[in-house]
Amino acid sequence: MELSSTDQIDESDLPVKKLAPRALATLAIIGMLLWLGVVVYLAYMPPWMGLGFEPSQDGNKVIVKYVDPSGPAYNILKKGDQVKSISNTSGEINLVLSPDDIILEPDSVSRYETYNLFFENQNRWYDLLQQQSLRFVLSDGSEQIVSAKLHRPVNQLPWLFWFQVLCGVITFVAGVSVWATRGGDRILFYYGLTGLGLLLASSSAAIYSTRELALDATIFYRLSMINQFGSYLYSGPFLAILWNYPKPLGKPLFGHVLILFFLLFWLANVFQIPETLDVGMRYPLIAGLAILIVLSIWQWLVSPHDPLSRAIMNWFLMAWLLSGILYVGLVTIPLLFGLESFIDQSIAWGILLLVYLGVTAGILKYQLFNVEKWVVNFWLWILGGLLVVGIDAFLIIVLDFGNLLSLTTALALAGWIYFPVRQWLWQKFQQLAGKTNYRDFYTQATQLLFDFGSEHNVDEQWKIQLQAFFQPISIQEVDINQQNIVVEEQGMKLYVPLIKNEFCLILIGAQNGRHLFNNDDVRFVNSLQELFNMAFKVEQAAQNGAIEERKRIARDLHDNVGAKLLSLIYRSEGRGTQELARDSLKELRELIQGLETKGDTLGSILYLWFDEADRRCNEAKILLVWKENVGNNDFMLNTRQLLNLKAVFSELLSNVIKHANASALNISTDVVMETGLEAGSHTRYFLVITFSNNGSPFLVEETGSGQGIHNIKQRIIEINGEIDWLSTKDNENNNINKSIVKIPLQGH
């Protein structure tokens, strides 16, 4: 299954991305900064008295909510004063202040007549505020004169203004940083539009929802239209994404239809075609939520056996669906019933941040939209630059620092606080995403991979290392000639070629299915594969050199020692000396044969061992019981194992015959399988050879200093094995003496 959005839909009708991601993002950020400059300027332009207003408890009057200590009205009006009207000092313009004049969101009314009347009144109030002095008439009949300042100082803009602007900035940066990675991708383009929509909606609302009393009516109306346009620009592309991702539910262009659906309602609202604002604004948003729920269920139903799509839907349901339900339920639906919103829209923008936090976490965990994890670091890089600019502006405007001092302070704060915090957050993101420490594992693998020959062949060691590192749900060996390491099914599968043969390993579900494979994993496995290939070549060269050296030694033994033994056989007159020479020559030929071979199967070696044991036990009048439990006995023994085991087998057999005074000998050969208890442990096979006789006890501590025992131990150690001697008695008080040899086997 390929879930890459670029594979699912035809991109031929989209413009080709010609700029690098940082260039695209930089242009978008410059555009955002220009827009934010306009936003701050429009918030700065109205006259300022340093007052805040709110409806009285009965909802029929207006009272003073706060008085700014640095404002013109300080010590003239006080908190709780009830304002009846405001006029100029000549009395030519006198307006009665109503709770309808101070509503934060003009489109919270139901009918267009009320909506239009609100802007007409805003125009009157704005004209009044242009007067130099204003007369406030309070409910107790008293009058107070306030001289308004020409403009509102930027450092007096309330925190709610900056909060809404910040929500827009974060969502826009999140959308742009993802879109910029593949500017020609339709789904990422939709995602970028949602961020643009929220920037327009929240920043325009920041101006008028935090106004002191009034704005220029024309500007106010246009800001309201931008706010509505931004809301629709968020909703339409949002649904278009869900139509195409994680699985396309139909023709991709239907996503454009969903966007057009909302834009048509916006145009209808601009021209006030619907009967009410409920029809023009709130019904489309509720319809969008219903479509969202339907598409979510549809996506869930079309992926019953696709764990990746289900995992992606979990993130959508948690982030987008939850935030959509909360926003519509708390802000939009109450207005349909003539109620006030449960929370102000200015606060509700924070709910929609859940979407972008969820998508960011989804990119880290599941590579949503097939986007690389580095995009989050890219996002933090953009925010870092904005932070320096923001701190610099704050120090100049709010704290009245000089330009040089403010810039120095901004850089210091960013360097000492932001960047360490950013690094800490990035590390936490990596932990949440199950980021593996490649460096530590690479070091461990390097320490192990030069030990192929002792216990595992190179492909087995390769498989073991991949199993231990990724801990997949399953790892399968398939007959596929795969040359490159590739990620398939958007991270669910990783295809890795073996080192020696042409087969391929398929790893499914990294970290027991909790995480997806990504390009970082591909790069790491490529690097590790190069190291394995190099080590394999070194091992092969060493083996080839050893083979050549063994052949040289074999030739020397044959030409020199062999010739002398043969001469001894023919020249010796004593029968005992001739027999000893013949036995020595036979063993020499076996040694030479072992030196000239690369190894043999366990089955072939057991046959030769049985032949030797049977012959020698018959000569010594000892009953031999031979048992084999080796299953499919095609395990390979290398040259070193063959030579060492042959010598150990013969020595142990000689010890029983010469020293034990035994009447019976049991020899059993078993292949046992062992699996470690720790996670990711691999299965290992061992050959266990047991000599058991009923003769005299063999005490190693008394004879351990002998050359024969020393040679046995040394030969076993050389092939990474172990040997133990035991002496016990059976129920009839008969001696049971055991010699147990255990060595690791290579794969078969």
Distance, in Å, from the CA atom of 36 to the CA atom of 512, rounded to the nearest integer, reads: 46
Least confident residue range of 337-346, 613-622, 663-672: 337-346
* Tens digits of residue pLDDT in 55-81: 998 888 999 999 999 999 999 999 999
Assess whether pLDDT exceeds 60 at residue 738: yes
Task: Round to the nearest angstrom and report the end-to-end CA distance of the chain.
Answer: 34
Burial call 202-224: b when 16+ CB within 10 Å, e when fewer: bbbbbbbbbbbbbbbbebbbebb
**Average confidence (pLDDT) over 525-530:** 77
Assess whether pLDDT exceeds 90 at residue 174: no
Q: Which fold has domain 5-44+156-370?
A: Rhopdopsin 7-helix transmembrane proteins (1.20.1070)
Distance, in Å, from the CA atom of 456 to the CA atom of 720, rounded to the nearest integer, reads: 12
Do residues 458 and 532 lie in contact, with contact meaning Cβ atoms separated by under 8 Å?
yes
CATH 3.30.565.10 for domain 600-744: yes
State the Cα angle at 306 between 490 and 506, rounded to 5°. 55
State the Cα angle at 667 between 662 and 671, rounded to 5°. 160
Q: What is the pLDDT of residue 62?
A: 96
Distance, in Å, from the CA atom of 303 to the CA atom of 316, rounded to the nearest integer, reads: 14
Assess whether pLDDT exceeds 60 at residue 195: yes
Q: What is the pLDDT of residue 458?
A: 72
- The pTM score is 0.58
51-150: CATH architecture? Roll (2.30)
As to burial, measured by CB atoms within 10 angstroms (0-12 exposed, 13-18 middle, 19+ buried), residue 300 is middle
Which of the four pLDDT bands, split at 50, 70 and 90, describes residue 117? Answer: very high
**Average confidence (pLDDT) over 396-403:** 50
Listed residue (325, 234, 241, 335) closest to 282, CA to CA: 335
Which of the four pLDDT bands, split at 50, 70 and 90, describes residue 10? Answer: very low
For residue 473, the SS3 value is: coil
- Top pLDDT among 269 and 477 is at 269
For the chain, helix, strand, coil in percent to 5 are: 60, 15, 25
Q: What is the pLDDT of residue 387?
A: 57
**Average confidence (pLDDT) over 655-679:** 81
What residue ranges of the chain are covered by domains with CATH 1.20.1070? 5-44+156-370
Do residues 197 and 35 lie in contact, with contact meaning Cβ atoms separated by under 8 Å?
no
Q: What is the pLDDT of residue 413?
A: 57
Q: What is the pLDDT of residue 127?
A: 93
Distance, in Å, from the CA atom of 439 to the CA atom of 699, rounded to the nearest integer, reads: 50
* Tens digits of residue pLDDT in 138-170: 999 999 999 999 999 998 899 999 999 989 998
* Tens digits of residue pLDDT in 21-56: 667 778 888 899 999 999 999 999 999 999 999 999
Tokens 């080839």 label which residue? 544
φ, ψ for residue 306, nearest 5 deg:
-120, 95
Instruction: State percent of the chain over pLDDT 90.
Output: 28
φ, ψ for residue 683, nearest 5 deg:
-85, 135
As to burial, measured by CB atoms within 10 angstroms (0-12 exposed, 13-18 middle, 19+ buried), residue 649 is buried
What residue ranges of the chain are covered by domains with CATH 2.30.42? 51-150
Distance, in Å, from the CA atom of 273 to the CA atom of 284, rounded to the nearest integer, reads: 14
Assess whether pLDDT exceeds 90 at residue 595: no
Which of the four pLDDT bands, split at 50, 70 and 90, describes residue 325? Answer: confident
Q: What is the pLDDT of residue 49?
A: 95
What residue ranges of the chain are covered by domains with CATH 3.30.565.10? 600-744
Distance, in Å, from the CA atom of 27 to the CA atom of 114, rounded to the nearest integer, reads: 41
Biggest CA pair distance of the chain: 151
- Top pLDDT among 227 and 1 is at 227
Which of the four pLDDT bands, split at 50, 70 and 90, describes residue 411? Answer: low
Least confident residue range of 69-73, 257-261, 380-384, 637-641: 380-384
* Strand ranges inside 118-271, DSSP E: 133-138, 143-147
**Average confidence (pLDDT) over 558-587:** 54
Do residues 652 and 621 lie in contact, with contact meaning Cβ atoms separated by under 8 Å?
no
Assess whether pLDDT exceeds 70 at residue 133: yes
Provide the mean pLDDT of the chain.
77
Contacts of the segment 673-681: beta carbons below 8 A, 24+ positions apart: 679/471, 680/467, 680/468, 680/469, 680/471, 681/468
Q: What is the DSSP letter of 11?
A: -
Do residues 324 and 241 lie in contact, with contact meaning Cβ atoms separated by under 8 Å?
no
Q: What is the pLDDT of residue 551?
A: 62
Which of the four pLDDT bands, split at 50, 70 and 90, describes residue 384? Answer: low
* Tens digits of residue pLDDT in 419-429: 566 556 555 55
Q: What is the DSSP letter of 506?
A: E
Q: What is the pLDDT of residue 579?
A: 58
φ, ψ for residue 625, nearest 5 deg:
-115, 115
As to burial, measured by CB atoms within 10 angstroms (0-12 exposed, 13-18 middle, 19+ buried), residue 730 is exposed
For CA atoms 165, 168, 171, 177, give the dihedral sign.
Answer: negative
**Average confidence (pLDDT) over 559-571:** 52
